[in-house]
Amino acid sequence: MSQAVYLDYAATTPVDPAVVDVMVRHLGPEGTFANPASRSHLYGWLAEEAVENARRQVADVLNADPREIVWTSGATEANNLALKGVLEARGGGHLVTSAIEHKAVLDACKWLEQQGHKVTYLMPDADGRISLGAVQAALRDETVLVSVMHANNETGVINDIEAIGSLCRERGVLFHTDAAQSVGKLSLDVRAMPVDLVSVCAHKVYGPKGIGALYVRRAPEVKVAAQIHGGGHERGMRSGTLPTHQIVGMGEAFTLAVARREEEGQRIATLRDRLWQGISELEGVSINGGNSPRLPGHLNVAFADVDGEMLLTAMNQVAVSSGSACTSASLEPSYVLKAMGIPDALAHGSIRFSVGRFTSEADIERAAACVVDAVSRLRQKG
């Protein structure tokens, strides 16, 4: 039996071989392995140079100044630093976010509520988008921060963060966006767009897991209180010895992603659409968020009259997620699909397919055939 087709790129991607090469050169005794904070020898200077080069690579993708990039362990930490850091620096206030954010935002908000802060959770429309009107209606005099994700991890639906950011700027409210899914796939230019804080990570764009960054605007300056103390690295915002190999891997992955963005986005969207073509031979299938602009690789399908967990088991030749990867351990229907007003039964019967750089046409044909076969069999039984 051959291996299952990997269609779970939204959960994580393999590291691109070119990125692996760069990382390996920053690990061993012959490599640039030193502590970038070591100021007393050439080993340290070379490591620092490598880190600063990668900082520029990441900054370039956002059109940011390298001094606006704070390394973190990933997007989860970047989101925590943005939300808790701003609320702490401001001495509290009201926060607006959406009900379809990643748990890294929602759980940080829950914690902030426990600390006595007020949070408003916006509902998406039926197509999974957060409307400008919803943000507008939620703003209060005491609102200090709005956090709305760029693209949703389950549906791939893209929010109009330019419009939301502009509204926030007009009202003197800081705007944070979680761009973990979109970075390297959609353009996000912080000079052109009024966003103040952006969370990104490497492992959704063919970089390593365990590294990410928070973009923190310098002008007008955004104050963020550190959440991890010890040593004062990253201009005091995030202490800890910098993982040189992870950081150079992220820099290389980001540069690669942008160099290939147009061509790869089109290729992946074509494959994704082929997959949908194959699946849509079935009756009773629809795309969750299908009427909204979406990331090129995402395809979240609702299968009527099928249980998602049984479907996952039946189509064992395809590696995908039911609901979001982070909640697939529980049998609650996806909170994102629920918030979009999708009935529980349909949400339970929904599967996220996500196509990526190493997906082939043969993979797509095989996956489509496997899905059609599995759904047909389950429906016959049911």
Ligand X SMILES: *Cc1c(COP(=O)(O)O)cnc(C)c1O
Residues marked as catalytic: 326
- Among candidate residues 333, 311, 320, the one with its CA nearest the CA of residue 381: 311
Burial class (CB in 10 A: 0-12, 13-18, 19+), 172: exposed
Least distance in Å: CB of 104 to ligand X?
5
- Under the binding rule (CB under 6 A), the answer on residue 279 touching ligand X is no
Q: How many CB atoms within 10 Å of residue 244?
A: 23
- Sequence-distant (≥ 6) Cβ neighbours of residue 20 within 8 angstroms: 249
Least distance in Å: CB of 265 to ligand X?
17
- Binding range to ligand X, per CB under 6 A, among 58-66, 175-183, 235-243, 300-308: 175-183
> In this complex, which beta carbon is closest to ligand X, that of residue 7 or of residue 285?
7
102-141: which residues touch ligand X (CB under 6 A)?
102, 104
Residue 147 pairs in a beta bridge with 97, 176
> In this complex, which beta carbon is closest to ligand X, that of residue 295 or of residue 311?
295
- Under the binding rule (CB under 6 A), the answer on residue 148 touching ligand X is no
Q: Could you say which of 19, 75, 271, 302 contacts ligand X (CB under 6 A)?
A: 75
Least distance in Å: CB of 371 to ligand X?
23
Q: Could you say which of 13, 32, 76, 159 contacts ligand X (CB under 6 A)?
A: 76
> In this complex, which beta carbon is closest to ligand X, that of residue 351 or of residue 375?
351
- Under the binding rule (CB under 6 A), the answer on residue 183 touching ligand X is no
Q: Could you say which of 8, 48, 68, 178 contacts ligand X (CB under 6 A)?
A: 178
Least distance in Å: CB of 43 to ligand X?
29
Compute the Cα dihedral for 2, 4, 9, 15 and give only its sign. negative
- Under the binding rule (CB under 6 A), the answer on residue 212 touching ligand X is yes
> In this complex, which beta carbon is closest to ligand X, that of residue 183 or of residue 378?
183
Task: Give whole-number Cα distances, 265 to 185, 187, 269, 290, 361, in Å.
Answer: 7, 12, 6, 17, 15
| 161 in Cβ contact with 148 (< 8 Å) | yes
Least distance in Å: CB of 250 to ligand X?
10
> In this complex, which beta carbon is closest to ligand X, that of residue 117 or of residue 352?
352
Residues found near ligand X in the complex (CB under 6 A)? 74-76, 102, 104, 149, 153, 178, 180-181, 201, 203-204, 212
